[in-house]
Structures are given as C-alpha cells and as structure tokens.
Amino acid sequence: MSKTQLVRGEPYPLGATLKEDGVNFAIYSEYAEAVEIELYNANDNYTKETVELKERDGYVWHRFVPGIRKGQLYGIRAEGKYDPSRGLRFNRNKLLIDPYAKALSGKINWDKSIFSYDQESPHKDLAINNDDSGPFVPKGIVLDTQYDWKDVKKPKHSWARTVIYETHVKGISILREEIPEKIRGSYSALASESMIQYFKDLGVTSLELMPIHHHVDDMFLVNAGLSNYWGYNTIAYFAPDIRYSSGPPGTQVNEFKNMVRKLHENEIEVILDVVYNHTAEGNHLGPTLSFRGIDNITYYKLQSENKRLYEDFTGTGNSLDSRQPAVLQLIMDSLRYWATDMQVDGFRFDLASTLARELYNVNMLSPFLATIHQDPIISNLKLIAEPWDVGPGGYQVGNFPPKWAEWNGKYRDQMRRFWRGDEGMLGHFATRLSGSPDLYQDKGRLPKASINFITAHDGFTLLDLVSYKSKHNEDNPSGFEGGSDENYSMNFGVEGNTDDEKINGHRFRMMKNFILTLMVSQGVPMILGGDEIARTQNGNNNSFCHDNRINWFNWNLNREKQELLKFTRHMIMLRKSNPVLRRRNFFMESLPDVDLKEIIWMDSSGNKMTPEKWNLSENKSLMVWISGHYTSEIAYSGEFLTGGDLLLLFNSGSNPVNFILPDDGTKWELYADTNLPTIDGLPIPIEGRNYLLNRGASAVIRERT
C-alpha cells in the first residue's frame, strides 16, 4: 500500500480533477468491492504507487491525493467478483482506463493480458486470466484544463446558412504539401492557414469531424497491418485522440483547443461525430480496457435471459445502456465538456436510434432524448442524428424530436436513383428537393431537420458513385468487407478508372448534377470531404480500416478536378446569396391573401405539372420556378431576398430536352449548366424563351438584374 497520506475527496466531478495541492479522483462503480488508482512514472510502464479509494458516495469511489501535479499518469484497478454468467467481470489484474480521462498517453498494445479470460481455455470467458495488463494499456494523464480562448466566440451559424463539410482530421491534410510536414494529419494541420483558406474559398461553414474521441485499433486489424481509421471504436469519451496530435502526450488537448479557436476566428464551426452507442470493448470475448472491468452490469445492455451476453444493436458486439443514470450522466458530462471546455458547436450522433432504445424498442420519449431536450447547453447546439441502427425497428428517419436534424437517407437514395435514370422517381425527386415535407412537416418540424447528402464517409465517394456499379472491398480483411450492396450507382460502361474521355466527361457531368441538386435543395447540405476534388477510394464503400491513400486526399488536381472544385464553389455561392434556397419553412403553393406563388412545378413546355405528369413513369425532366420577390419574415427569417427569381432545370433522361422558359417579361441569365466544361464566363444572358438541356444534365437560370 502507498505511504501517501489519504485525504477525503469529493464524489464530483468524476475523473481526475487537478486542485492547487493535489488531485481529486472519483470513479463510479456500483458493483465493485474496491477501487484503486495506480500512479505511473513518466515512461508509462512502471508503477509509482497505488492509492485505494476508500470513500464511497452514491456508488462513486473517491479520494483526494495531495502532491500530484499535472502530467501524472494513472490507471484504475477494480476488485470484485468474476462471474460472467451474472454479468460480473471484475479482475484486479487488468489496468483500466478512467472513463473520464481527459487525455491518454498512447494507444493499446495488444497482448493476451488485456483479456480478462484465458483465450486458450475451452471455457473461453468463463475462465479467468490473471496476467497483469498494466504495461499494455494507455494511462490517463492529469491535466490543467485552463485555457485562454482570447475572447473568441462560437460562430453560431443558423441552420439556414449552414453548409456542412464532413471530413477526417488526418486524411484531409496528410498529403497537402503547403502544410509543414511535421504537423500534417494533425489538429494543427486542420487549422493551418492553408486549410482555413481552402474552407473559406469553398464556402463551407461547418466541419463535421469523423470521431476524434480516443479510439482502439482492433487487434485483427493491427495484426493485418491495418487500423480502425474511421475511429468508430471509442474507449475514452473525454479525450481527444492522441493519433491526431503533433506534440508529445498530454499536449493533444490544447492542440485541439487551438484548432477550434483558429477555426472560430475564421467563422468555421466544429461539429463532432460522436459514438455513444457502443464502446471498443466488443462482445463477451472482447478485451477488458475500461467500462467492462469497472462496472459491466451498469455500462452495457446485457441480455436478460443470459447476462453473459450483450444486446447488440450496433453490429459491434455491445451497446451502451443509456437507460442507466450513471451512463446517461457520462454521456451528458462528456457532451457538456466538449461544448464548454472544448467549445465545439454541435454533435452528430452515430447510430442514434440505439441511444433512444429502452428495454428493446426505440422510444422517442427515452431518457436520453428527454435529457438532451431539457439541457440548457446541449439543446442549443447543432444536434444531428444518424437515425438508424442495425436492430429491429431501428430505421427512424423522420421520427426524431424537434431541435434535432437527421441524416436524410431517403434524400441520398432517391436523388441517386433519379440521376441514375430510374423510372417513377420524379415525384420523389421533387419531394426531396423541397425539404422532405413528407417526413417533417406534419410533425411540426422545419426543412432544417433534413441533412441532405449524396455521399458520406460510409459508402462510395462521389467519383466512385459514378464510376462503379458494384463495391470493391477486396482490400478489407476477409469477413469484414462490409458496405452496402445497393448503392444506386452507375459506371457509364466501364467499371472503375478509364482513360476514355467521353466516359470521364459523363462522370464529371453527373458529379456536377449531384452538387447542383444538393445546393438548390431545401434543408441543410452536407458535402463529403474530397468530393469537390473527385476523391476516389477505388470502389471501396467501406474503407474503415485503411489509413493510407485509399482514404487520404490527393491534392494533385488535373484540369477536370480543378473545374469540379470551381463548380462546387460556384454552387455554394449561389446558395449563400439566395435566401430562397435556404428557407425557414416549407414551400406553399398558394400564399394567403397574396396573388403570388412561392414555387411552381412545370414540365419542359412551361406548363404546370399535373398528377398525370407526376405519375408518368418515363417522365424524367422538370422545371422549377422559385419566386425571389415574395418577402415573408416567417419563410425567410427576416432576410431581404436577393438574386431574384430562379429557374431550376433537370433532365435525367437519355435525350436532350428543350425547355420553354416562362413568358412573364422576366429577363434571364444562365448561372450554371452541368454540361458546360467550365463556369468561366458565367453568368451569360439568355435570349429568347428556349433553352436546350443536354441528356443527364441540370441547369440554374436566374433573373437578370
């Protein structure tokens, strides 16, 4: 036992809290029989001393330990019964990561000792393994969390003005030559002058970062020379991942804060993709790293008929039990920490349906959602649900409560099918273009509830969407190819890369169609990072394990990729300069007491669409007139309308279509046509009322002022 004098501490806050003359440790465990803090020397491997947390208050074991300073490394030992059949998996020989650790000293080093059971025993997890895992588990780092934000405030972009850019901290910058080599792939690189200028020129307002909570690289991936690149395998919900730090252990927190501050100085928001639905400890045969060894029964959803096994709604082997007060507190404490101490602007919740499950079914009145709704800090941030999981009834697109936005999977699928040329998609296309009122309007929600996207990290990139009919995940480990088999994709006659200029022309035109459609749709657009420069994953639609050029951005841009980037900037600028493209409310066909319509749906002849035309399966062209003159404070949040009327022309058919423009005296100019090789010279005046749109193309025509 340690000779250090033990002083009574406090049960809150949980974790390691630095005080003037020492550290307060507080660890939650309802079923443990004893909890100790193990202090380590700076080299991370040798125990300095052990402190027993003798005080217990509301299942929180705590103690103040004088003399400890910032930078101290520590881990947890929890004693109790090892009886997996009853859900008990305590093993004092396993060093455990503090669930509230603000930073970790490194990555997991895989060894048989980090499993609580004897892997060679025929009884598997029923046979205990008493090997010490201390040398192989990263340690928590005691931190001084004070930071000078220099009065930099959060940008707080309204949803209407938001353009989201989903990206990976490392992948976007690791090959960017303008960034100093020693910081490429890091938090610092993301906030470098080169990257910030790129984001500003592109026009995006918000970065949605793939998981940066400290994660575990699965053993089977490490053994195969791969990694969990995406990071959806969290083990520490308060710790920014050390993998993206350019400095020594312990500096990752301030480096992350420096990144946020620099982005905020440039009016760019930071949204974190967070994974509170499961942890990196896997199923009953997984390692014991943290939660499992601290309080398995509390943290995880166990099968009621066999507590040895876990409920798995995530496809990862376990599901966190957000019904439990201690788990809900962990999630909320983590969210508040990132929102306040780290100053992030919002969260995208991975597999959010799992968090809304109670005993079994998804419940939109669940404790998790109710707690979020009433929290004065979190409820006022950007909240985005991935509204599905892999369990029964998990697909919940359109069902999340007010204040939530959702990844709109129906938008993705139906927009892809329309542009692929599938029959009978015109009505679906129009519904998604107008903000998906079928999903949200009757539930009192607004267009901002719909996060519109064509591609995301999970699936094809935009270039691959138009280059492959089938996924090509052969580089993944056997049994982990994954990825959807139905991508609604197209290849224009050749699978994958080709030198055929005609095919490449079709592909780049189709990518422009998707970008144009995304930017003129009501709701909130999200771009997959790299789509604007035609990034490819070589047909891999589940590239989770590749920390290599399959996922890294290639910044060597040929002429076509440069033109695609220019086109994307051009379309984002259209959206930002036209409030009619980012309305607060849904369109009304007829306005009360006003002889004017906000929107008119027309066929190529300029006649209004009828039910018969909508239902004509072979109909694949549409003209949309949007009024730029009706000023409704309710519809447009008080913004003055700019840009005048807009005409949106779409043709997913196999033949060119001649559109007859409205004959109301309006003078028109061409803002964009995806058939044109460049945006140079645009806008150009349109003379007459005819506009010929090529097959598989779209255009934006605006009122000439």
For 447-504, how does the pLDDT look when each residue is reduced to its tens digit (9 = 90+)? 999 999 999 999 999 999 999 999 999 999 999 999 999 999 999 999 999 999 999 9
With residues binned 3-state (H G I as helix, E B as strand, rest as coil), the percentages for the chain, rounded to 5, are: 25, 20, 55
- Residue 394: what pLDDT? 92
Are the C-beta atoms of 219 and 198 separated by less than 8 Å? no
DSSP state letter for 608 = B
Compute how many other C-beta atoms are within 10 angstroms of the C-beta atom of residue 58: 11
Question: What's the pLDDT at 588?
Answer: 79
Whether 4 shows a pLDDT value over 50: the answer reads no
Res. 167: pLDDT tops 80: yes
pLDDT over threshold 90, residue 437: yes
**Does 642 score more than 70 pLDDT?**
no
**Mean pLDDT, rounded, for 587-596:** 58
The C-alpha atoms of residue 575 and residue 521 are separated, in whole angstroms, by 9
Nearest to 51 by CA among 30, 27, 29: 27
pLDDT in tens, 356-381: 988 678 888 889 999 999 999 999 99
CATH annotation of 587-703:
2.60.40.1180
Asked if the model's pLDDT at residue 591 lies above 90, the reply is: no
Token pair 């000293």 is at which residue?
A: 105
Please report, for the chain, the start and end positions of each structural domain, with discontinuous segments joined by +: 15-141, 587-703
Give the number of other Cβ atoms within 10 Å of residue 8's Cβ: 11
Q: Is 605 left (phi over 0), alpha (psi -120 to 50) or beta?
A: alpha
* H-helix or E-strand spanning residue 700: strand 697-703
CA–CA distance, 98 with 75 (Å, rounded to integer) = 7
Give the CA count within 13 Å in the CB-facing half-sphere of 677.
6
Helices (H), 266-398: 291-299, 325-340, 352-355, 367-374
Computed over every residue of the chain, the mean pLDDT equals 94
DSSP letter string over 488-541? ----TTSSS----HHHHHHHHHHHHHHHHHHHHSSSEEEEETTGGGT---TT-S
Question: Token pair of 411, please?
Answer: 């938008």
In this structure, are residues 275 and 350 in contact, taking their beta carbons and an 8 Å threshold?
Answer: yes
Give me the CATH topology for the region 15-141: Immunoglobulin-like (2.60.40)
* Catalytic residue chosen out of the listed positions 36, 241, 386, 464: 386
**Greatest CA separation for the chain:** 92
**Model confidence at 625: pLDDT above 50:** yes
β-bridge pairing 22-28 and 34-40:
unpaired
Q: Tokens for 55?
A: 């005080």
Instruction: Return the SS3 of 104.
Output: strand
pLDDT for the residue numbered 643: 65
436, 454, 517 from 522: Cα distances, Å = 8, 14, 10
Tell me if residue 640 falls in helix, strand or coil.
Answer: coil
Q: Is residue 630 scored above 60 in pLDDT?
A: yes
Q: What SS3 state is found at 590?
A: coil
- d(Cα 431, Cα 411) in Å, to the nearest integer? 9
Residue 326, CA distances (Å) to 27, 60, 502, 635 in order: 11, 10, 60, 42
Active site residue 386: yes
Could you report the per-residue pLDDT of 649-671, keeping only the tens digit for each?
999 999 999 999 998 889 999 99
Distance CA 465, CA 420 (A): 10
Torsion of CA 463, 465, 469, 475, to 10 degrees: 70
The one catalytic residue in 38, 350, 458, 531 is 350
Between CA 193 and CA 355 the distance in angstroms is 38
Structure-token pair, residue 376: 């004065």
- Give CA–CA dist 381/156, Å, rounded: 9
In sequence order, the 6+-apart residues with CB closer than 8 A to the CB of 508 are: 534, 560, 563, 564
State the DSSP string of 54-88.
-EEETTEEEEEEET--TT-EEEEEEE--EEGGGTE
What would the two tokens of residue 288 be? 């014991």
d(Cα 508, Cα 675) in Å, to the nearest integer?
9
Q: What is the dihedral of CA 587, 590, 594, 598, to 10 degrees?
A: 40
**Upstream peptide bond of 683 is cis (omega within 30 degrees of 0):** yes
In the 3-class helix/strand/coil scheme, how is 477-488 assigned residue by residue?
A: CCCCCCCCCCCC
- What confidence score (pLDDT) does residue 350 get? 96
- In order of 96, 481, 699, the CA distances from 134 in angstroms are 8, 33, 62
pLDDT in tens, 110-162: 999 999 999 999 999 999 999 999 999 999 999 999 999 999 999 999 999 99
- Supply the pTM of this predicted model: 0.96
**pLDDT for 6 beyond 70:** no
Contact predicate 122/107, CB 8 Å: no
Cα–Cα distance, 68 to 300 (Å, whole number): 33
Domains 15-141 and 587-703 equal at CATH topology level: yes
Write 128-134 long-range contacts (CB < 8 A, 24+): 128/82, 128/91, 129/91, 129/93, 130/91, 130/93, 131/93, 132/93, 132/95, 133/93, 133/94, 133/95, 133/288, 134/38, 134/45, 134/47, 134/75, 134/95
Query: 188: part of which helix (H) or strand (E)?
Result: helix 187-190
Amino acid at 79: E
Model confidence at 634: pLDDT above 90? no
For the four alpha carbons of 113, 115, 118 and 122, in that order, the dihedral sign comes to negative
Q: Which residue's entry shows tokens 């400290």?
A: 214
Tell me which DSSP letter residue 13 carries: S
- Per-residue pLDDT band at 3 (split at 50, 70, 90): very low
Give 56's strand partners. 61
Nearest alpha carbon to residue 316 among 215, 398, 412, 222:
215
Q: What is the rounded distance in angstroms from the CA atom of residue 19 to the CA atom of residue 402?
A: 40
Residue 253: which H helix or E strand, with range?
helix 252-265
Q: 238-294 pLDDT, tens per residue?
A: 999 999 999 999 999 999 999 999 999 999 999 999 999 999 999 999 999 999 999
3-state secondary structure of 173: coil
One DSSP character per residue, 435-478 reads T-HHHHGGGT--GGGEEEES--SSS--HHHHTT-SS---TTSPT
